[in-house]
Amino acid sequence: MNEFALGFGVAALANGILVTIVVTIAASLVAIVFGLIVGLIRVSTLWPLRWLGIAYIEFFRGTSQLVQLYWWFFVLPIFGITLSSWTVAIFGIGLCISGYGAEVVRGAIQSIDRGQYEASTALNFPRLTMMRRIVLPQALRAMLPPWGNLLIELLKGTSLVFFITITEFTAAAKIAADATGNYLLFFAVALFGYYVIARAFITPFVRLLERRFSRGFVREVLA
């Protein structure tokens, strides 16, 4: 392995890691926002909204994530809608994960004891106030651990963006391995790299949120 090839491989790998982190962060924001919105729609008292939420969830959970990316990137231009590869990567992956996240939100909300709803009704709270002050603070604590798992899955799913012309971590590892001939080294870095990113960024972030929403929880809910 000559020094030039090694330097090229390391540079490619560093760029791929950066791309993966950027896509992960941006797609996570999309997944969280849409997951919360669709999850709330899913428990709406209006049946058209509930069915819209169900259709959204079933589509994104029931179809292949890679095929979804192909549709956004290769099929939509047929209908005159052209999206950049970065837009497709961020929104394609984010929307797919949001379908799973919406079910997490729905399950967390519906797991709240019925007595909380009855007490809110007895206090004449509007539904919006009840959701904001009583239900969601409790549901957030329940949904954070599964959301952490979903964000890790999202991180690993970023490897699919190679198929829409973005060189991310896995693709960069392959390029580096091809350039140097050292497949063991670079694929070992790729194998454990996702674990390190998850442990260094996603897991601590989720645990920080868990501590934040657990601290003073009883006082906030009863205030």
Q: Domain containing 49 — which CATH number?
A: 1.10.3720.10
* pLDDT at residue 115, rounded to an integer: 74
Residues of the domain holding 179: 3-222
Cβ neighbours around 58 below 10 Å, total: 11
| Number of domains, the chain | 1
Cβ neighbours around 114 below 10 Å, total: 8
Q: Distance (Å, rounded) from C-alpha 170 to C-alpha 176?
A: 10
Cβ(186)–Cβ(180) under 8 Å?
Answer: yes
* pLDDT at residue 132, rounded to an integer: 72
* pLDDT at residue 164, rounded to an integer: 95
Question: CA nearest 157: which of 188, 114, 106, 202?
Answer: 202
* pLDDT at residue 39, rounded to an integer: 94
Splitting the chain (223 residues) into consecutive groups of 10 residues, what average pLDDT does each group show?
A: 76 93 96 95 89 96 95 96 96 96 92 73 71 78 92 96 95 92 92 93 90 63 42
* pLDDT at residue 45, rounded to an integer: 82
Q: Distance (Å, rounded) from C-alpha 219 to C-alpha 196?
A: 36
Return the residue matching tokens 């392959």: 174
Question: CA nearest 89: which of 37, 158, 181, 174?
Answer: 158
Terminal-to-terminal C-alpha distance of the chain: 66
Q: Distance (Å, rounded) from C-alpha 97 to C-alpha 31?
A: 6
